[in-house]
Amino acid sequence: MRRSPADTAQSARKISRRALFLGGSQLAFMGILGLRMRYMQVDQADEFRLLAEENRVKFRLLPPARGLIYDRNGAVIAENEQTFRIVIRKEDASELDQVLVELERLIGLPLEEQERVRAELKKAGPSAPVTIADRLSWEAFSSVSANGPALPGVTPEVGLSRHYPLHDDFAHLVGYVGPVSDYDLSKMDNIDPLYRIPKFQIGKSGAESRLEDVLRGKAGSLRVEQNAYGRIIRELDRHEGEPGVNLQLTLDNNMQNFTQARLAGESASAVIMDVETGDILAAGSTPAFDPNLFVRGISSVAYNELLENDHRPLPSKSVQGAYPPGSTFKMVTALAALEAGVVTPEDTVRCMGYTEIGGRRFHCWKRAGHGNVNMVGSLRHSCDVYYYEMAQRAGIENIAEMGRKLGLGLRYDLPLPGINSGLMPDKQWKLENRGAEWVVGDSLNAAIGQGFVLATPMQLAVMTARLATNREILPRMIKSIDGVEQNILGGAPLGLNENMLRSVRQGMFEVINSNRGTAFSARIEDDTTKMAGKTGTAQVRSAVVNNNNVPWIERDHALFVAFAPYNAPRYAVSVVVEHGGGGSSVAAPIARDLMLYALHGAVPPLAAYPSSQRGTIRERFKAMPLRDLDGDESTRGRA
Amino acid sequence: MSYLESTLKTIPTGLSKVLYVNWALVLLLSAAASVGFLMLYSNAGGSFQPWAEPQMKRFALGMVAMLMIGMVPIWFWRNIAGLAYIASFMLLIFVEFFGHVGMGAQRWIDLGPIKLQPSELMKISLVMLLAAYYDWLDIDKVSKPLWVLIPVVLILVPTALVLNQPDLGTSILLIAGGAIVMFAAGVSWWYFAAVAGIAVGLVSAVFASRGTSWQLLKDYQFARIDTFLDPSTDPLGAGYHITQSKIALGSGGWTGRGFMQGTQSRLNFLPEKHTDFIFTTLAEEFGFIGGISLLALYAGIVLFCLVSAMNNKDRFGALVTIGVSATFFLFFAVNMSMVMGLAPVVGVPLPLVSYGGSAMLVLLAAFGIVQSAHIHRPRGKR
List, for residues A421-477, the tens digit of each pLDDT value.
Answer: 999 999 999 999 998 999 999 999 999 999 999 999 999 999 999 999 999 999 999
Which residues from chain A sit within 8 angstroms of residue B135, using beta carbons? 1
Q: Name which of A146-155, A204-213, B2-11, B125-134 the model is least confident about.
A: B2-11
User: How are beta strands A532-538 and A557-564 bridged, if at all?
Assistant: antiparallel
* B26 belongs to a structural domain: no
* B300 belongs to a structural domain: yes
The tens digit of pLDDT for each residue in A34-54 reads 999 888 888 888 888 777 777
Across the interface, do A15 and B283 touch by the CB < 8 Å criterion?
no
Q: Name which of A346-350, A508-512, A533-537, A623-627 the model is least confident about.
A: A623-627
Question: Residue A639: is its pLDDT beyond 50?
Answer: no
Question: Residue A33: is its pLDDT beyond 60?
Answer: yes
137-156 in B: which are within 8 Å (CB) of A? 139
Its sign, for the CA torsion B374, B375, B378, B379, is: positive
Across the interface, do A36 and B342 touch by the CB < 8 Å criterion?
yes
B217, B228 contact by CB (below 8 A): no
DSSP string, A514-574: STTSTTGGG----GGG--EEEEEEE-SSSS---GGGS-GGGSPEEEEEEEE-SSS--EEEE
pLDDT band at A631 (very low <50, low <70, confident <90, very high): very low
The residue among A138 and A377 whose pLDDT is bigger is A377
Pairwise CA distance, residues B143 & B152, whole Å? 12
In 3D space, the residue among A578, A625, A588, A582 whose CA is nearest the CA of residue A311 turns out to be A578
Nearest to A33 among B252, B268, B336 (CB): B336
Q: Is B303 on the interface with A (CB under 8 A)?
A: yes
pLDDT on residue A543: 54
- Name the domain count of chain B: 1
pLDDT on residue B1: 35
Pairwise CA distance, residues B320 & B376, whole Å? 13
- Calculated CA dihedral for residues B157, B161, B162, B165, nearest 10 degrees: 170
Ranges assigned E (strand) in A330-401: 349-351, 354-357, 360-363, 371-373
Q: Characterize B221-249 residue by residue with b for buried, 16 or more Cβ atoms within 10 angstroms of its Cβ, and e for exposed.
A: bbbbbbbbeebeeeeeebbbbbbbbbbbb
Contacts of B188 (CB under 8 A, 6+ apart): B142, B143
Domain extent for B55 = 32-186+218-375
* B370 belongs to a structural domain: yes
| Mean pLDDT, range A73-99, rounded to an integer | 84
Residue ranges of the alpha helices (H) in B99-165?
118-136, 145-163
Three-state secondary structure call for residue B309: helix
Contacts of B77 (CB under 8 A, 6+ apart): B69, B128, B320, B369, B372
B370, B77 contact by CB (below 8 A): no
* B118 belongs to a structural domain: yes
Pairwise CA distance, residues A6 & A9, whole Å? 5
Nearest to A56 among B236, B267, B313 (CB): B267
For chain B, 382 residues long, give each residue's pLDDT as a single digit of tens: 344 554 556 677 777 788 788 888 999 999 999 999 998 888 877 778 778 888 899 899 999 999 999 999 988 999 999 999 999 999 888 887 766 555 445 566 666 556 678 888 899 999 999 999 998 888 888 888 889 889 999 999 999 988 887 778 888 889 999 999 999 988 888 888 988 898 888 888 887 877 777 777 777 777 777 766 665 555 545 566 777 788 888 888 888 877 777 766 655 566 566 778 888 888 888 989 999 999 999 999 999 999 999 888 888 999 999 999 999 999 999 999 988 888 877 778 899 998 876 788 889 999 999 999 998 888 764 3
Pairwise CA distance, residues A196 & A179, whole Å? 11
**Domains of chain A with CATH codes:** 59-245 (3.90.1310.10), 253-289+313-630 (3.40.710.10)
Question: Residue A242: is its pLDDT beyond 90?
Answer: no
* B205 belongs to a structural domain: no
- Our CA-based measurement puts residue A236 at a distance from the nearest CA of chain B, in whole angstroms, of 13
| Mean pLDDT, range A53-63, rounded to an integer | 73
Q: Is B262 on the interface with A (CB under 8 A)?
A: no
Q: Is B313 on the interface with A (CB under 8 A)?
A: yes
Q: Mutate which of A2, A4, A26, A223 to disrupt the B interface (most B C-beta within 10 Å)?
A: A26
How do the residues of chain A divide into helix, strand and coil, expressed in percent and rounded to 5?
45, 20, 35
Pairwise CA distance, residues A235 & B337, whole Å? 36
How far, in whole angstroms, is CA A491 from its chain's centroid?
A: 25
Backbone angles phi, psi at A363, to 5 degrees: -85, 150
Query: Left, alpha or beta for B275 (phi > 0: left; psi -120 to 50: alpha)?
Result: alpha
Nearest to B288 among A4, A37, A48 (CB): A37
* B18 belongs to a structural domain: no
pLDDT on residue A151: 81
Three-state secondary structure call for residue A141: helix
Three-state secondary structure call for residue B299: helix
Three-state secondary structure call for residue A146: helix
Q: Name which of A211-215, A254-258, B116-120 the model is least confident about.
A: B116-120
In chain B, the residue whose alpha carbon lies closest to the alpha carbon of A226 is B267
In 3D space, the residue among A458, A41, A74, A455 whose CA is nearest the CA of residue A282 turns out to be A458
What end-to-end distance do the CA atoms of chain A give, in Å? 118
Helix B52-71, helix B357-375: angle, nearest 10: 30
Q: Characterize B174-199 residue by residue with b for buried, 16 or more Cβ atoms within 10 angstroms of its Cβ, and e for exposed.
A: bbbbbbbbbbbbbbeeebeeeeeeee
User: Bridge partners of A347?
Assistant: none
Residue ranges of the alpha helices (H) in A39-108?
45-56, 96-107
ipTM over the 0.90 cut-off: no
Q: Is B184 on the interface with A (CB under 8 A)?
A: yes
| Per-residue DSSP letter, B99 | P
In 3D space, the residue among A480, A325, A338, A337 whose CA is nearest the CA of residue A407 turns out to be A325
* B343 belongs to a structural domain: yes
In chain B, the residue whose alpha carbon lies closest to the alpha carbon of A12 is B313
Q: Is B373 on the interface with A (CB under 8 A)?
A: no
Question: Residue A633: is its pLDDT beyond 70?
Answer: no
Pairwise CA distance, residues A22 & B183, whole Å? 9
How many Cβ atoms are within 10 Å of A199's Cβ, its own excluded? Answer: 16
In chain B, the residue whose alpha carbon lies closest to the alpha carbon of A228 is B269
pLDDT on residue A269: 95
Q: Characterize A272-305 residue by residue with b for buried, 16 or more Cβ atoms within 10 angstroms of its Cβ, and e for exposed.
A: bbbbbbbbbbbbbbbbbbbbbbbbeebeeeeeee
In 3D space, the residue among A603, A608, A607 whose CA is nearest the CA of residue A564 turns out to be A608
Q: Is B340 on the interface with A (CB under 8 A)?
A: yes
The residue among A307 and B228 whose pLDDT is bigger is A307
The tens digit of pLDDT for each residue in A578-614 reads 998 877 888 999 999 999 999 998 888 999 999 999 9
Q: Is B293 on the interface with A (CB under 8 A)?
A: no
| Mean pLDDT, range A132-140, rounded to an integer | 84
Helix B168-185, helix A5-38: angle, nearest 10: 140
pLDDT on residue A229: 57
| Mean pLDDT, range A133-142, rounded to an integer | 84
Residue ranges of the alpha helices (H) in A137-289?
138-146, 182-186, 206-210, 212-216, 253-263
Residue B191's H or E segment, with its range, is helix B189-209
CA angle A591, A594, A595 (to 5 degrees): 80
* B350 belongs to a structural domain: yes
User: How are beta strands A201-203 and A177-179 bridged, if at all?
Assistant: antiparallel
Q: Is B180 on the interface with A (CB under 8 A)?
A: yes
222-251 in A: which are within 8 Å (CB) of B? 225-229, 233
Three-state secondary structure call for residue A132: strand
Nearest to B264 among A4, A20, A55 (CB): A55
pLDDT band at A188 (very low <50, low <70, confident <90, very high): confident
Amino acid at A627: R
65-104 in B: which are within 8 Å (CB) of A? none
- On average, the pLDDT of chain A sits at 87
pLDDT on residue B8: 58
| Mean pLDDT, range A225-243, rounded to an integer | 71
C-alpha separations of B48 from A348, A379, B33, B212 in Å: 111, 99, 15, 49
User: Bridge partners of A349?
Assistant: A373
How many Cβ atoms are within 10 Å of B260's Cβ, its own excluded? Answer: 16
pLDDT on residue B2: 44
pLDDT on residue A457: 96
A258, A626 contact by CB (below 8 A): yes
